[in-house]
Structure 1
């Protein structure tokens, strides 16, 4: 079968489409013939930073959807022919304050979804909602699960809340916009791109502002109940200034750097809640799927590329050209 493998060289030079052997599912496992897969920033980090040429070769990719074509011994709830999405969260079954020891994500160091077929544990597949296209189902899992935990489990979003999402454009941010609106919140977003601001308004944002302007002025002094910030150092202090006293800020990424200065006095006088989040459990994944089915939420799909055009997909993501999710089509 064909797969996108990272090996022998660091960075993008180590990526190539190769013929690799199909795997046979063991007890408790299933094999999925993938229709589509989704690209995430995590895949960029794996290729550019985490996986080295001295490491064993790895098939990258965390998101995917397809049809089960083989099942291992003892699998009862999944059968050949089932249309499924893959939950990339490994070793985290139940909702908890933090991931358990041994938690990992599909696609590094475990072989991932950028291949024509993949073997995963039966617990890591969930029936594909029938209203989703293969392109939508294939790009959903990692970003939607990350958004769901950050917004609901950690942020405890409620109807009537005012929610700010800096840096709209990523798959996670677009899911958070859709999820928060479905939950009854008023949602504000920021972006450096006027095109992305316009698109955010089209998919439900109540207000979209330029990241580079004075947010307080643009929001007329309006303060937020909840802010979900994945941009990091570049926006964190601006985000905190927009938070009401006693409000909550959740962070799950730091694309502009990990180190920042924080005005502790303003923080503790503001009675702020500062929470971290990452991915989510199998329990939250199932809750997320139920939520999107109830509200008929569809991923915002930016572009879908043939498997062989993977470098175009990676470069589009690296250059932050996308709004929503980028996909890869198998076969």
Structure 2
């Protein structure tokens, strides 16, 4: 089969012929139709992510048709259109993953290939309200933002939330989930165009983080936020603390801008703020995410679809430039 292969750190992706996997016990074989990029794929290529940095088939999100089953798998899976939960081997503690935890695409062979074999417990039928392309873009962003918003931040109807870096697939899905939950949503971006697009999707207002003291303007205009959702970290993280209401929760799941800095401790403890890390989610949270997505007919925003796996490096470059508004999808041919 054809697969998009990372041979070394910072090396261009190549198309490589590899053996088509054979489903083991409790696994299904999926012929993939579409797969979706996440920032972790780019960071892995650049050697800025934990785990193996070479010899990988990348990709955590995908949709396809079950074309084979291993032993102990119900034969009714054959022919079904499915998506894959990329959060594997979480462990017994719902509060945090265990030592065996891994995310599909590193170290396990990922979805940027024609076929993939996956344990059946991680396979779910495609949500009926989504197109195949939309469904391929849901899993990683869906589980990440669902756990961040509802398990970690405990977001409630009527609360105000600030979502940073609007335009990313996770941020856009978080915007839709928060609105569906009855929250008032505000966003940040370095692009006025992206802020206007977010407002068209239901955000009340947005703030350009390239402007000096943008966080003071946000606090003055809104009175502060009950929840702040961030995926960038970096030196600007301290500015997010300025926007939080007393008792507020700041949840983050990424480090695009590097190590967190610029935090004044007493601004956290005097105001009883909670700073919460989160990564992916449990099997039950993935099921709950699918149910919530279907109930509210939420659809991932798609920015661009590339026609073949051979376009993967072009898609990676486009994502790294940060111009996208929504998910970037590959066609797995």
TM-score using structure 1 length: 0.95
Query: Is there any run of 5+ residues in structure 2 with no aligned partner, and where?
Result: none
What is the number of residues matched between the two proteins?
328
1:5 corresponding residue in structure 2: 5
Q: 1:308 aligns with which of 307, 310, 314?
A: 310
1:296 corresponding residue in structure 2: 297
> Cα–Cα, structure 1 residues 49 and 304, in superposed 2: closer, same or farther, change >3 Å?
same
2:151 corresponding residue in structure 1: 153
- Do the aligned partners of 1:216 and 1:222 also contact (CA within 8 Å) in 2? no
2:209 corresponding residue in structure 1: 211
- Do the aligned partners of 1:232 and 1:255 also contact (CA within 8 Å) in 2? yes
Deviation at 1:216, TM superposition (A): 2.5
Deviation at 1:241, TM superposition (A): 0.6
**CA distance in 2 between partners of 1:103 and 1:34 (Å):** 24
Deviation at 1:80, TM superposition (A): 0.6
Q: Any idea what the Cα deviations from partners look like across 1:127-172, whole Å, max 9, x if unmatched?
A: 1011211111111111111000100110001100000011111111
1:172 corresponding residue in structure 2: 170
- Do the aligned partners of 1:64 and 1:86 also contact (CA within 8 Å) in 2? yes
1:67 corresponding residue in structure 2: 65
TM-score using structure 2 length: 0.94
Q: Any idea what the Cα deviations from partners look like across 1:171-190, whole Å, max 9, x if unmatched?
A: 11111100000000000001
SS at match of 1:318: helix
Following superposition of structure 1 onto structure 2, how do residues 35-54 of structure 1 map, counting pairs within 5 Å?
Answer: 35-49=33-47
> Cα–Cα, structure 1 residues 95 and 133, in superposed 2: closer, same or farther, change >3 Å?
farther
Q: 1:319 aligns with which of 318, 321, 325?
A: 321
2:183 corresponding residue in structure 1: 185
Q: Any idea what the Cα deviations from partners look like across 1:273-325, whole Å, max 9, x if unmatched?
A: 11110111111111000000000000000101022111110011111111111
Deviation at 1:27, TM superposition (A): 0.8
2:232 corresponding residue in structure 1: 231
SS at match of 1:12: coil
1:102 corresponding residue in structure 2: 100
1:202 corresponding residue in structure 2: 200
Deviation at 1:199, TM superposition (A): 1.1
- Do the aligned partners of 1:95 and 1:283 also contact (CA within 8 Å) in 2? no
SS at match of 1:297: coil
Deviation at 1:77, TM superposition (A): 7.4
> Cα–Cα, structure 1 residues 164 and 94, in superposed 2: closer, same or farther, change >3 Å?
farther
Deviation at 1:95, TM superposition (A): 6.7
- Do the aligned partners of 1:78 and 1:122 also contact (CA within 8 Å) in 2? no
**CA distance in 2 between partners of 1:262 and 1:175 (Å):** 28
- Do the aligned partners of 1:162 and 1:186 also contact (CA within 8 Å) in 2? yes
2:273 equivalent to 1:272 = yes
Deviation at 1:57, TM superposition (A): 2.1
- Do the aligned partners of 1:93 and 1:282 also contact (CA within 8 Å) in 2? no
**CA distance in 1 between partners of 2:199 and 2:100 (Å):** 40
2:330 corresponding residue in structure 1: 328
- Do the aligned partners of 1:61 and 1:106 also contact (CA within 8 Å) in 2? yes
Deviation at 1:267, TM superposition (A): 1.2
Q: Any idea what the Cα deviations from partners look like across 1:198-244, whole Å, max 9, x if unmatched?
A: 11111111111211232332442511111111121243111111111
> Cα–Cα, structure 1 residues 175 and 266, in superposed 2: closer, same or farther, change >3 Å?
same
**CA distance in 2 between partners of 1:191 and 1:154 (Å):** 23
SS at match of 1:49: coil
**CA distance in 1 between partners of 2:121 and 2:35 (Å):** 19
